[in-house]
Amino acid sequence: MATKRDYYEVLGVQRGASADEIKKAYRKAAIQYHPDKNPGDKEAEEKFKEAAEAYDVLSNPDKKARYDQFGHEGMSGAGGFGGSAGGFGGGGFTMEDIFSQFGDIFGGHFGGGFSGGFGGGRSRERVNRGSDLRIKVKLTLKEIVNGTTKKLKINKMIACDQCGGTGAKDKSSYATCTTCNGSGYVTQVVNTFFGRTQTTQPCPTCHGEGRIITTPCPKCHGEGIVRGEEIVEIRIPAGVGEGMQLTVSGKGNAARHGGVNGDLLVLIEEEPDKELVRDGNDLIYNLNITFPQAVLGASVEVPTVDARAKIKIEPGTQAGKVLRLRGKGIPDVNGYGRGDILVVVNIDVPSSVSASEKGLLEQLAQTEHFKQAGQSRDMNIFDRMRSFFR
């Protein structure tokens, strides 16, 4: 199997290129290898497809993020034109599919069809697609760590229950479109800088459907959709984070005339926890102990996500020391292990003391160990930093 070229290399742009730069680079490559400019040239056809595949991924923020992190492996099963599951290279899409998806890139020079013999004469019914919906979902730390399922009531456009989403009053309420004679497309011959080019566009009368409604549904007025509600169950995996976006296919707005539903885009928001602070997949807990506990040692309880755990404070523990509870943090959303809980020790110093307590402290300050402690442990910041990674 031939190795796929880097998508940035295909379009001749640098990583970090803007959306406008990527679009301009694709248009340049597509015009260079366009089938009307290179009739019968199989190599140009493959480069044309390769450029379209690269643009499909790099122009989509979600696909681009996966590609930047995982390369071509991250596109497996990603859907659309890119990826191993039905991409251009796999033969799952025709040249006509490229034009229907990216025809506007050419600024009208090459519409939805072409005359290069790649299947431009094949007519197909245009399928409407509903718009996507975006919602925000707030999650507690416990829900993030364990994963959760949310049932949400979504206000959106749904299929009309009276006509079943068709928009017509009944089955006899249709007529063949006379503009396109039922094909859904009209063909034009236009003059471009490559010469005369045949283009195929959706019919302006029936909008690509090939037929028109003569008697519309009285409830939806011929649209096939009405405003309504739907209960959507969303499975949220463990390890998601603030700003992540999940896609629930087919749960967006319904499409006109029984088309394909849009998607539901779920934006994750984290509710701050009262005790634990997230740092990547680790959790940080600030533990306050007393001066006697720091000197003598102690057994104390600290919170975890699901319960509380006992940890041992060794005698002579210094302020700023970090204790690690391995594997008690947040699971990686991609399944690569789990973070830790980092317990940062703080020594709680009283703001005032009684006369007797003051006397005891003054006596301690004159003892050998307390005098040495101030000298030997001054400037030990690097030791404390090293202890963080143990």
Q: Is 177 annotated as a binding residue?
A: yes
Q: How far apart are CA 36 and CA 13, in angstroms?
A: 25
Q: Which residues have a Cβ under 8 Å from the Cβ of 310 and sit 6 or more positions away?
A: 299, 300, 301, 302
Q: Are strands 264-270 and 133-139 parallel, antiparallel or unpaired?
A: parallel
Taking phi over 0 as left and psi of -120 to 50 as alpha, with beta for the rest, 216 belongs to beta
Q: How far apart are CA 326 and CA 88, in angstroms?
A: 45
Where b means 16+ CB within 10 Å and e means fewer, 46-80 reads ebbbbbbbbbbbbbbeebbebbeeeebebbeebeb
163 annotated ligand binder: yes
Nearest to 299 by CA among 317, 311, 288: 311
Please answer whether residues 99 and 113 qualify as being in contact, where contact means their C-beta atoms are separated by less than 8 angstroms. yes
Q: Is 180 annotated as a binding residue?
A: yes
- Give the CA radius of gyration of the chain: 32
Residue 160 annotated as lining a ligand binding site: yes
Write the burial class of residue 291 (CB in 10 Å: 0-12 exposed, 13-18 middle, 19+ buried): middle
Q: Are 213 and 206 in contact (CB under 8 A)?
A: no
Give the residue numbers of the binding site.
Answer: 160, 163, 177, 180, 203, 206, 217, 220
**Which residues fall in the annotated binding site for Zn(2+)?**
160, 163, 177, 180, 203, 206, 217, 220
